[in-house]
Amino acid sequence: MSPQKPPSDIARAYRTEYEKGQIDEGQLPESPWTLFERWFQEAYQSGDEFSNAFTLGTVDAQGQPHARVVLMRGYDPSGLVFYTNYNGRKGSQIGQNDRVSAHFLWQRQERQFCLLGRAVRLDAAASDAYFASRPRTSQIGAWASPQSQPIEGRAVLERLYQEQVERFEGQAVPRPEYWGGYRVEPSSIEFWQGRHSRLHDRFLCLPGPTGWTWQRLAP
C-alpha cells in the first residue's frame, strides 16, 4: 500500500466542528488553577502522553520571538515549572528578557491554555532534587550536550556523551551548574474551549489585590 499523501486542499480537508465542551460563566472557580487542574487531568486521563507539553515563547535581544515545545514538570498557584540548560538559546533569551508565554494545546478536548508571565529561576535545591530524579542517561546527556551550539555531526555528540559516561563511571552524576529549573509566574491566564460555529468560549483571568478576575473574550 502506497503511503497516504497529504490533502492538496488543506483548508477543506481540516475543517471540523468543535463540540466536545464548554465553559459556563456560572461555574467559574475563584482561581484559574482549579480549572487548569481539571483540564490537565482530563487531558492526561484521555491517554495523551504529551498532556504536559507546552509551547514556550521567548524573545531575543533583537525582538525576534522564538518558540519551542518543552515539558511541564510541576505546577501550583505560583506557576508552571520546567527545566533546561541555562546556557542554551531559551535560557540565554530568558536571561535577557524574562517575559515569556506558555501555551498548551489539548487537541482531544479541543482546548487551549495560555499563560503570560515571567520566568524565574528555581533555587539550587529544587533543581538538584529534580536532577537527581532523572534517568542516568538524561543526567549524562545534560553534561554532554552543548545545547544550541553548532556541532559538526551526530558522531561528535555521541563522542561527547561517551566521554561523560566514562567520566562519571561508578559515581553519582551531579547537576551541572548551567542546568536547572524555571517557574513561569503568571501575569495573565487564558482558557479557550472550542465551540460550534467557531463561537468558541474564551476567558481571560487577571490577578488583582483581592484575587483573580474573569472576563469573557469574543472568539
Catalytic residue numbers, as ranges: 198
Q: What is the DSSP letter of 186?
A: E
Q: What is the DSSP letter of 2?
A: P
Task: Give the contacts of 138 (CB within 8 A, at least 6 positions apart).
Answer: none
Tell me how far CA of residue 187 lies from CA of 57, 114, 209, in angstroms.
15, 11, 13
DSSP 74-118: EEETTEEEEEEETTSHHHHHHHH--EEEEEEEEGGGTEEEEEEEE
Grid cell listed for 119: 520566568
Nearest partner of 111 among 214, 21, 37, 189, judged by Cα = 21
CA 39/CA 13 separation, integer angstroms = 28
